Amino acid sequence: MRTPVIETERLILRPITMDDCQDAYDRWTSDPEVAKYMIYNTHTSIEDTKGWLSTIDIDSDTDFDFAVCVKDEDNYMCGSCGLSYKKDIDCFVAGYNFARDHWRKGYGTETMQALVKFGTEVLHQTVLESSFHKENVVSGHVLEKCGFEIIGEGNKTKLDGTTPFEFYEMRYRIKPSKETFKLYNGVEVEPVGFGTYKSSEGAVRNALDAGYTYLDTASYYFNEDVVGSEVKASGIARDKIFIASKVWPTQFGYEETKKAFGESIEKLGTDYLDLYLVHWPKLTKDDIQWKRKLIATWKAMEELYKEGKIRAIGVSNFMPHHMKVILDNCDIKPMVNQLELHIGYMQNYAVEFCRKNDIHVQAWSPLGRGRLNEDEIIQKFARKYAVSPQKLMLRFLVQQGISVIPKANNPVNMKNNLDIYDFTISDEDMSFLMSLPERGFSGEFPDLEDFEN
Ligand SMILES: NC(=O)c1ccc[n+]([C@@H]2O[C@H](COP(=O)([O-])OP(=O)(O)OC[C@H]3O[C@@H](n4cnc5c(N)ncnc54)[C@H](OP(=O)(O)O)[C@@H]3O)[C@@H](O)[C@H]2O)c1
């Protein structure tokens, strides 16, 4: 792509050309007060400026170099700016410089804002970098105003290898807004819910205080009464909280499921559920009746849904061959499939099947229940994005449209787990993390479990 023309309120950013040499030389490249903050030495002849401009390839796909002109003074050229792709850091680097008589008039901010807009909206970059001379405090403020943050400091030498100077490196990152996920029946699901399996007393209350609005429980967790009483104690209106529970395989069957549902809502102190899931597809690995029982269970789920007692119905730990039993024999397709999913155990065959059938995928044990805490690769990527390994793991799932329900008894952990929207994992890193060999798997296979006792 050629360097485009960008107009701001007061400026025109247009491709810089060799015809601009004289003006650039006369106005700033020969000024030592400008050059002292820049990577180039003061130009002492027009040839120096020609040499600099001749390195610019205006048809480049990766470097965008602009002359900055003030609009209302007959397109008076007063500076230059650019965005250049740096292979070693896989990132575009933005910079600008202005003639001294154009300093402190807000032109730097206006220019950098235009470069950030171009870099993010046209070049689709989620990260941009820049740097400024440590003594150039004003440039530091300009970059901060444009959303850059200091990420490090170092020493640079001028282009001719002389005069080392200290500089700060800065990074601009798009802050992704919080996604919300919609089930195919229109019900909205929070990307980060709160898992309550083995949660301690008071954890649900703390989670609600921390800002969670989605609670995942199950009859099998034997905590629905605690969840219910902590919801009540929070004083938060029922319709502001999303409550999901599950029917356990020992409760399968048409009548049994209806009874189990009644017991769950009674313990939870509510007259409806936002989501009700079939916890596992079968009771035992040798149960030859599992399909018949599953169909009867699902019929009860469908009826409860049609009666308005459940806002959405779904399954958990279902592989495609389990889901097909429902799809082939029932009226309503599951809206959710809750699966063990985390870096190192992505069950792609099941996730892909759900996506094809518009079934929302939700991750249980999104943190691998602590089994991934010491994983070196996860730690390496967490360091790269300057986040905790847990934040990386949750963002990895949510970025794929998968909601997560991390459990945390520690109030600091539960708060941190909600805060995953200030960074984006690059496509390349997503692909790498997605293809990692198995790690952190619980060992639970839906076709090999026995839940009879
Ligand atoms: N459908 C199913 O079959 C099924 C199966 C299992 C689980 N689930 C659901 O999924 C939920 C989550 O799964 P899970 O409980 O197995 O495991 P998890 O959420 O992957 O991991 C929970 C563990 O991670 C720790 N942790 C949480 N946030 C952390 C942070 N920011 N930094 C460091 N450590 C952190 C917790 O410690 P602290 O508690 O000390 O904070 C806890 O030890 C369950 O609670 C349950 O609701 C469903």
- Compute the distance between CA of residue 248 and CA of residue 257 in angstroms, rounded to an integer: 9
Cross-strand bridge partners of residue 168: 132, 153
Q: Which residue has the tokens 């009700």?
A: 276
The full DSSP string for 134-146 is TT-HHHHHHHHHT
16-37 average pLDDT score: 94
Token pair listed for 445: 């296979």
Quick one: which of 369, 314, 340, 342 has its CA closest to 198?
A: 369
Strands 91-98 and 127-133, bridge-based pairing: parallel
pLDDT of residue 176: 65
Residue with CA nearest ligand 1 atom 27: 408
The alpha-helical segments, DSSP class H, found in 1-58 are 21-24, 32-35, 46-54
Domain ranges of the chain: 6-173, 181-434
The alpha carbon of 194 is separated from its chain's Cα centroid by a whole number of angstroms, namely 18
Quick one: which of 290, 294, 285, 314 has its CA closest to 254?
A: 294
- Indicate left, alpha or beta for 386 from its phi (over 0: left) and psi (-120 to 50: alpha): left
CATH code, 6-173:
3.40.630.30
Cross-strand bridge partners of residue 92: 85, 128
Query: pLDDT per residue over 353-411, tens digit each?
Result: 999 999 999 999 999 999 999 999 999 999 999 899 999 999 999 999 999 999 999 99
Query: pLDDT per residue over 216-263, tens digit each?
Result: 999 999 999 999 999 999 999 999 999 999 999 999 999 999 999 999
pLDDT of residue 308: 98
Task: Examine the pLDDT at 140 and tell me if it is beyond 90.
Answer: yes
pLDDT of residue 88: 87
Tally helices (H) and strands (E) across the chain. Answer: 15, 18
Token pair listed for 333: 């397709």
Ligand 1 centre to CA of 390 (Å) is 11
pLDDT of residue 277: 98
- Compute the distance between CA of residue 394 and CA of residue 79 in angstroms, rounded to an integer: 44
Residue with CA nearest ligand 1 atom 26: 408
| Residue 364 beta carbon below 6 angstroms from any ligand 1 atom | yes
Q: Which residues are catalytic?
A: 221
| Residue 390 beta carbon below 6 angstroms from any ligand 1 atom | yes
Q: Determine contact, residues 405/362, Cβ cutoff 8 Å.
A: yes
Query: pLDDT per residue over 151-197, tens digit each?
Result: 888 887 877 777 778 899 999 987 666 778 999 999 999 999 999 99
- Compute the distance between CA of residue 150 and CA of residue 283 in angstroms, rounded to an integer: 55
- State the chain's mean pLDDT as an integer: 94
pLDDT of residue 363: 98
| Residue 32 beta carbon below 6 angstroms from any ligand 1 atom | no
Distances (CA, A) of 401 to 53, 180, 359, 395, 396: 46, 9, 11, 10, 9
pLDDT of residue 175: 67
pLDDT of residue 179: 72
Token pair listed for 259: 């009874």
The full DSSP string for 328-396 is HH-SS--SEEEEE-BTTB--HHHHHHHHHTTPEEEEESTTGGGTTTT-HHHHHHHHHTTS-HHHHHHHH
CATH code, 181-434:
3.20.20.100
Of the chain, the percentage scoring pLDDT greater than 90 comes to 84
| Residue 206 beta carbon below 6 angstroms from any ligand 1 atom | no
Q: Which helix (H) or strand (E) holds 96?
A: strand 91-98
**pLDDT category of residue 124 using cuts at 50, 70 and 90:** confident
Task: Examine the pLDDT at 60 and tell me if it is beyond 90.
Answer: no
Token pair listed for 310: 């459940």
pLDDT of residue 400: 94
**pLDDT category of residue 104 using cuts at 50, 70 and 90:** very high
| Residue 407 beta carbon below 6 angstroms from any ligand 1 atom | yes
Q: Determine contact, residues 32/42, Cβ cutoff 8 Å.
A: yes
Q: Which helix (H) or strand (E) holds 91?
A: strand 91-98
Ligand 1 centre to CA of 285 (Å) is 26
